[in-house]
Amino acid sequence: MCHGVLIRDSPLHCLDCNALTRWRNRRHDMVRDYLAEVIKVHARLEPNTTVETEVTIQGTGPRGAKKADILVRRGAESIMIDVGIVEPAAPSYRAEGSHLREEVAADIMAARKQREFDDAAITDVSFVPFIVEATGRLGKTAMDFLQDGFGEQYVEYQVNTFVRRMSAAIAKMNGVCISMARKLRIYRHVTELA
């Protein structure tokens, strides 16, 4: 049992467990960094384009500010990208039907991130919730961003490279989460016996 969840009832709990936040954050950061690299390659092809990571943008709403994982500035246009990785097998998403329909978990997280952005009331900035499922599947808004934002053949190669690197990073860090969850479970069991 981990945080009141029976592992037999939720074998992928470790991919969404709060005790493993450090490794889940690392998984997120790897995806963010790989995506930023692709956008920077594309930015070199466009004049007056800059790419920054981890930028806080002030808003006028009740939330006040929102952190952008990636901020792209193209002349007067700004695009704020918020990366999220969601576990569709988590009980909260299964209750919403993620086991019956594709992209349910990604859509729910995208909607939550959109509400957070709207609550911050940030003006003159486009918002992209770039959601990826822990299985490596891209959410609709992430897929749309990649398809709409990168048309050139050279950059298309970069996007394909990003998807491969992202999938490998997610699989690697999912493995770390599973391994660490086993170690935590064994540790908890041993300390309960002591």
Q: State pTM to two decimals.
A: 0.81
Tell me: pLDDT of 151 over 70. no
pLDDT digits (tens, 9 = 90+) for 2-14: 666 666 666 666 6
pLDDT digits (tens, 9 = 90+) for 53-101: 999 888 887 778 888 999 998 888 899 999 999 888 777 787 888 777 8
- Residue 23, Cα to own-chain centre: how many angstroms? 13
194 in Cβ contact with 29 (< 8 Å) = no
- Residue 128: what pLDDT? 94
Q: Name the nearest CA neighbour of 98 among 106, 88, 107, 90.
A: 88
- Residue 194: what pLDDT? 43
CATH top-level class for 13-185? alpha beta
Q: Name the nearest CA neighbour of 113 among 147, 140, 150, 137.
A: 140
Q: Which two tokens stand for residue 104?
A: 């349910």
Residue 64 CB coordination number (10 Å): 13
177 in Cβ contact with 24 (< 8 Å) = yes
Q: Name the nearest CA neighbour of 14 among 172, 181, 186, 184.
A: 181
Q: Which two tokens stand for residue 43?
A: 């930015």
* Spatial distance between the Cα atoms of 70 and 83, rounded to a whole number of angstroms: 8
166 in Cβ contact with 132 (< 8 Å) = yes
- Residue 69: what pLDDT? 95
* Spatial distance between the Cα atoms of 144 and 132, rounded to a whole number of angstroms: 12
- Residue 82: what pLDDT? 96
* Spatial distance between the Cα atoms of 75 and 148, rounded to a whole number of angstroms: 18
Residue 79 CB coordination number (10 Å): 18
